[in-house]
Amino acid sequence: MSGIRLASGPVIPHFAQGSHCEQTNGWFCTDWLREHWGDTLQPALVQHVELTLIAVGVGFAIAFALALVGFRFRVFDLPLGVLSDFLYTIPSLALFQLLVAVTGLTVLTVEIALVSYTLFILYRNFVAGLRAVPPDVLESARGMGLTRVQTFFRVELPLAAPAIMAGLRIATVSTISIATVAAFFIRDGLGDPIFRAINENLFKTEILAAGGLAILLALVADGLLAAVQRAITPWSRLR
C-alpha cells in the first residue's frame, strides 16, 4: 500500500564512521540529521502521513456510514456504540498481534488496527453531533416543508459539523501517535527509525528526531483541521 520503501541495507550510522557526536551518541547530532534526512527521516515521515491519511479516511467513511445507521435507526445505536467501544479498549499491540495471525505482517494489518481505533472516536462524535440538533430547529425545518433528506443535508449535517470536525481532530492526532507502534510489524512510518535506534544502542538523535517529527506532524494536522473547522462553521464562533 505504501509507495515508498526504505532503502535496503542499514541506515543506522556505523558509529566508527560518523562524526564525534555520533560516535559518542550525543543528544542531538545535526550532521546526522543532514546526512540522513533524505534516506531515513523524510521517507518515514511520508509513510507516516500515508498511514494516517488512509486510516482516518477509511475510518471516517465507515464511521459516517455506521453513524447514519445508528442515527436513523436508534435500535442499532447501542450495539454499534458498544462495538466501537470494544474495539477501542483492546490494547494496540495486542490488536496488531491478533491481526497478524489473519492478515500477516502487512500494511493491511496495521491499517485495520488503526481504522478500528478511529471508529470509536468518530462514531461517537458523529452520532452525538447529529443528535445535538435542537428540537425546535428540527420542528421548524419540518414545518417549512423540508423533506427528511433535505433536513439531513441542510440542517442536521451542517449543525453536526463542529462535533464531526472535533472527532476528526482527535482521531487524526491519536492515529499519528498509535501509528508509530506499527513499526513493530512493518518497516513503515516514523516508528521504524525509532525502533531501529532503540536496537542500535539507543541512538538518541534518531529517536528524538523521529519522535519530534511525529509530534510536529500531529500539531500541524490538528492545526490544519482546526482551520478547516473554522472555515466551514463560521457561525459556531459567534456567541
Footprint of another protein on this chain (CB under 8 A)? Answer: 134, 136-147, 150, 154-155, 158-159, 161, 233-236, 238-239
Question: What is residue 24's three-state secondary structure?
Answer: coil
State the nearest-atom distance from the C-beta of 164 to another protein, in Å.
13
Question: What is residue 215's three-state secondary structure?
Answer: helix
- Provide the b/e sequence for 18-52 (b: ≥16 CB within 10 Å): beebbeebeeebeebeeebeeebbebbbbbbbbbb
| Residue with smaller CB distance to another protein, 14 or 154 | 154
| Residue with smaller CB distance to another protein, 42 or 140 | 140
State the nearest-atom distance from the C-beta of 133 to another protein, in Å.
9
State the nearest-atom distance from the C-beta of 121 to another protein, in Å.
23
| Residue with smaller CB distance to another protein, 3 or 145 | 145
State the nearest-atom distance from the C-beta of 68 to another protein, in Å.
19
| Residue with smaller CB distance to another protein, 132 or 215 | 132
State the nearest-atom distance from the C-beta of 116 to another protein, in Å.
32
Q: Which residues contact 175 (CB under 8 A, 6 or more apart)?
A: 51, 52, 55, 56, 59, 114, 117, 118
Question: What is residue 78's three-state secondary structure?
Answer: helix
| Residue with smaller CB distance to another protein, 69 or 132 | 132
Choose among 220, 214, 217, 216: nearest CA to 192.
214
